[in-house]
């Protein structure tokens, strides 16, 4: 097992009716910026419950955070904070709104050009406004980690940063808030969480059975409950387990002490930057092709994945790996997610653009061995056409 640090100070308030706890979590004298996306937070009544729970605290609202949150929008919220003397940000939404909140919280306390936050991958952040979240969409895990991904349309860039100053103080996870989500968003969330786990699990063995067992538990839960969540949207226990799974998939727990990959994410980000394809769907395209391409480097873990996640125990090594990759693709299809670039209007001629962007963003040595070069990434994309 590798050495590691683990520190996750975010308080989770999980379950039915937990929005009522906001009053005890947000400082009584806070001036609050409520950050949200489109109209659904209003339509579903979540915002009304949030406003009620905040009582007579002074509140400013900022809406319009996009599904792939944009720098150009988020930077406007930084001005709103300065103009109104906001002291606490409350993000109400999914990973996009929470990712935006992290950037806004850091930028509000940063003196230079806020774009430095991305070019330094968060390194320039020395302080941030405190913020909490009310999660409405289980998917990214952003509610219990310090990472964020923002898209800059002007630069056609989708870039990550992280900072220990960007941990939510608290996150409210009420599974009932997910009952009204469209199937497409549930499916995306399940696929996103699934690939988060894979990025931290499907590398090479380092004698870490606890981390492996936890990852396999999360994967099996997603495989079992993902399709059921689409069939029976108001089954509380299913929604609850999916929500907790998505959080645990990216809160630092399963990555502690083990190698990590993240090549599927970095390549996928460039597809989204190229034509705004849903993040999760880019992962469902890249991952199976990457598994196939990297089957030698990942051989031991692919065999373990076949056995412990899919219960594939018949046939020789290569047959079991083939079956596990096929099962992965079938799972995405069962969630209603296509797995080829052509399904998302990306053709062979577009691969140059995507690979050039990857290179421009410094993503030239990806994967747990740093061996996914632009040449390998091109091969992976070409096999996914």
Residues at the interface with its own copies (CB under 8 A): 1-18, 206-210, 213-214, 216-218, 220-221, 224-225, 236-238, 240-241, 244-245, 248, 253, 256-257
Place of tokens 């480097």: 297
Secondary structure (3-state) at 32? strand
Question: For its own copies, which is the closer residue by CB, 43 or 126?
Answer: 126
CB of 168 to its own copies, least distance (A): 12
CB of 241 to its own copies, least distance (A): 6
CA distance 130 to 148: 15
CA distance 43 to 337: 27
CB of 368 to its own copies, least distance (A): 18
Question: For its own copies, which is the closer residue by CB, 191 or 256?
Answer: 256
Question: For its own copies, which is the closer residue by CB, 225 or 263?
Answer: 225
- Beta bridge partners of residue 164, listed in sequence order: none
Question: For its own copies, which is the closer residue by CB, 179 or 236?
Answer: 236
- What is the maximum alpha-carbon separation in the chain? 66
Q: Identify the H or E element spanning 161.
A: strand 157-162
CB of 350 to its own copies, least distance (A): 39
Question: For its own copies, which is the closer residue by CB, 18 or 361?
Answer: 18
Question: For its own copies, which is the closer residue by CB, 208 or 341?
Answer: 208
Q: Where are the alpha helices (DSSP H) in 202-316?
A: 209-231, 236-248, 263-275, 279-293, 299-310
Secondary structure (3-state) at 194? helix
CB of 172 to its own copies, least distance (A): 11
Question: For its own copies, which is the closer residue by CB, 4 or 156?
Answer: 4
Radius of gyration of the chain (CA): 20
Place of tokens 């941990």: 167
Q: Are 171 and 144 in contact (CB under 8 A)?
A: yes
CB of 218 to its own copies, least distance (A): 7
Q: Are 2 and 257 in contact (CB under 8 A)?
A: yes
Question: For its own copies, which is the closer residue by CB, 67 or 189?
Answer: 189
CB of 276 to its own copies, least distance (A): 32
- Classify residue 277 by its DSSP letter: -
Task: Tell me the two tokens of residue 85.
Answer: 């003397």
CA distance 244 to 132: 17
CB of 75 to its own copies, least distance (A): 31
Q: Are 14 and 173 in contact (CB under 8 A)?
A: yes
């Amino acid at each position: 097992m590798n050495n590691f640090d683990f520190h996750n100070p975010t308080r989770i308030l999980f379950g039915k009716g937990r929005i009522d706890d906001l009053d005890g979590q947000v400082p009584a004298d806070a001036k609050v910026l409520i950050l949200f996306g489109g109209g659904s937070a209003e339509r579903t009544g979540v915002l009304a419950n949030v406003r009620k729970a905040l009582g007579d605290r002074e509140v400013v609202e900022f809406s319009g955070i996009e599904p792939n949150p944009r720098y150009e929008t988020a930077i406007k919220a930084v001005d709103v904070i300065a103009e109104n003397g906001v002291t606490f940000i409350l993000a109400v939404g999914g990973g996009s709104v929470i990712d935006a909140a992290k950037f806004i919280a850091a930028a509000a306390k940063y003196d230079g050009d806020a774009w430095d936050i991305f070019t330094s991958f968060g390194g320039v952040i020395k302080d941030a406004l405190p913020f909490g979240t009310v999660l409405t969409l289980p998917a990214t895990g952003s509610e219990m980690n310090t990472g964020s991904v923002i898209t800059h349309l002007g630069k056609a860039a989708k870039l990550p940063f992280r900072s220990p100053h960007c941990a939510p103080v608290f996150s409210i996870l009420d599974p009932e808030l997910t009952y009204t989500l469209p199937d497409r968003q549930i499916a995306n969330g399940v696929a996103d969480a699934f690939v988060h786990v894979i990025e931290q699990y499907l590398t090479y063995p380092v004698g870490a059975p606890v981390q492996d067992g936890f990852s396999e538990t999360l994967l099996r839960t997603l495989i079992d409950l993902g399709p059921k969540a689409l069939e029976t949207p108001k089954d509380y226990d299913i929604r609850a387990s999916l929500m907790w799974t998505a959080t645990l998939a990216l809160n630092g727990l399963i990555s502690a002490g083990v190698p990590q990959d993240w090549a599927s994410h970095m390549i996928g980000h460039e597809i989204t930057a190229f034509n705004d394809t849903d993040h999760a769907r880019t992962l469902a395209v890249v991952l199976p092709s990457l598994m196939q391409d990297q089957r030698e480097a990942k051989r031991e873990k692919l065999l373990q994945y076949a056995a412990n996640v899919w219960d594939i125990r018949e046939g020789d090594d290569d047959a079991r790996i083939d079956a596990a990759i096929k099962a992965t693709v079938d799972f995405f299809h069962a969630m209603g997610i296509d797995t080829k670039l052509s399904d998302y209007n990306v053709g062979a001629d577009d691969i140059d653009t995507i690979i050039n962007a990857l290179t421009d963003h410094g993503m030239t040595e990806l994967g747990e061995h740093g061996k996914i070069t632009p040449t390998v990434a091109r091969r992976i994309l070409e096999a996914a056409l």
